[in-house]
Amino acid sequence: MKQGIIRLVESKGFEWSIVAVIVVNAITLGLEITPGADSLLPLLSVIDKMAFTVFVAELGLKLYAYRRAYFREGWNIFDFTIVVLTALPYLDIVGLGNLTILRALRILRALRLITVVPAFRQVIGTLGRSFSGVGAVGAVLFVAMYVSSVLAAKLFGGVAPENFGTLAASLLSMFTVMTMEGWREIVDPIAAQMPFVYPFFILYILGCAFVLFNLLITVLVSASEKQQQEERLHDEAETRAIEAKIDELQNTLNNYLSKKG
């Protein structure tokens, strides 16, 4: 029976059924906050409880199938945490189920798509593997922004004190310029009195927004290629192990037949 449950929870049909339930549940929770959906709330509540029941049943099956081994996988711990957190609204202990913030936690179930869909897991795995590289790029970006902010405060603090009068204001302004969202609103008033500011900010944007962001993309691509290579080596090792096992069984069978002969 245990092997049958393992085959069930590892089957593609079971996996995609859970994906479907997660998607339907996420849509249901979105409809709850849609204006004019008051008449649907009873039905949405039923669907939500049914989805939660499915998640609990899935968790129970996997715990029965894998026992303590279930918690050796980080993704399983993530799933377990999500299910436990989203169970809190259904608890009738000291009125926990009436707290709005706990009911809002139900949308966390949508995050389970990350663990169920292999492509999502690969993306998160890539981000995890590239953390050190991303951190280094982020540190370089912050240093460049800090130096530029101090320089901008020295140059433009008297002209635009609301944006560059203090270090904090200058950092915020330079961050806004780096994102290129509304940067003209910051630069144009200064340019009216100091025309040379455009080359300064354009070079800053090119240096931060383009060069450093491209470095970030390079780090992520490199981490993705490394992960794919490791997965390929792992698959090849498993294939060799299976082939060796088959050869061992074949040799055992041949020895048995030769002795019988």
Residue entry with tokens 């049914």: 50
Over the chain, what is the mean pLDDT?
80
CA distances from residue 254 to 79, 245, 248 in whole angstroms, order as listed: 47, 14, 10
Task: Region of 117 please: left (phi>0), alpha (psi -120 to 50) or beta.
Answer: beta
Domains in the chain and their CATH numbers? Answer: 2-116 (1.20.120.350), 131-251 (1.10.287.70)
pLDDT at site 146: 92
Tens of pLDDT, residues 9-33: 888 888 889 889 989 988 888 888 8
Q: Which residue has the higher pLDDT, 189 or 123?
A: 189
Question: What sign does the CA torsion over 218, 219, 223, 224 have?
Answer: negative
| Helical (H) or strand (E) element with 139 | helix 131-156
CA distances from residue 188 to 59, 159, 167, 183, 193 in whole angstroms, order as listed: 58, 12, 20, 8, 9
| 28: its two tokens | 């249901």
| 69: its two tokens | 């081994």
10 Cβ contact list (under 8 Å, min separation 6): none
Query: What share of the chain in percent tops pLDDT 70?
Result: 85
Confidence class of residue 127 from pLDDT cuts 50, 70 and 90? low
> Could you say which DSSP state residue 130 is in?
T
- Residue 186 class from Cβ within 10 Å (0-12 exposed, 13-18 middle, 19+ buried)? buried
Q: What are the φ and ψ backbone dihedral angles of 95, each rounded to 5 degrees?
A: 70, 20
Give the C-alpha separation, 99 to 230, whole Å: 45
Tens of pLDDT, residues 202-221: 888 888 777 777 777 777 67
